[in-house]
A = this chain, B = another copy of it.
């Protein structure tokens, strides 16, 4: 099992969710994060003073998937989150040692 963590542009999150839904993914955990990268931040001005804002709003999606489907999931995210402009984000994949469904205590692939 893999844990896929995708950092995407907030306005693309809904797209990604729908696409994942279509390929049968039923569980996602989402959170608001701030990202710093190649995409330049911006400068804000208040009362004549400059404020550099390095971190831009991004959305983080975490999805636990079985070993079989994870490539397809990565692929789907990459395609639907993409706008082609700098700052589109990253996908990170880590190994999951174990997954538990709290309600039932089920473990492993069944718990996903």
Contact = CB atoms under 8 A, between A and B. Distances in A.
A89 to B, nearest CB: 5
B102 A97 contact: no
Quickly give the copy total for this chain.
Answer: 3
Interface in A79-112: 81-103, 105, 111-112
Contacts of A29: 7, 33-36, 58, 60
A46 to B, nearest CB: 18
Contact of A93 (B32, B78, B96): B96
Interface in A1-51: 2-3, 6-8, 17, 26-38
A31 B34 contact: yes
A111 to B, nearest CB: 7
10 contacts: A7-B29, A27-B35, A28-B55, A31-B34, A78-B102, A78-B105, A84-B103, A90-B112, A93-B98, A94-B95
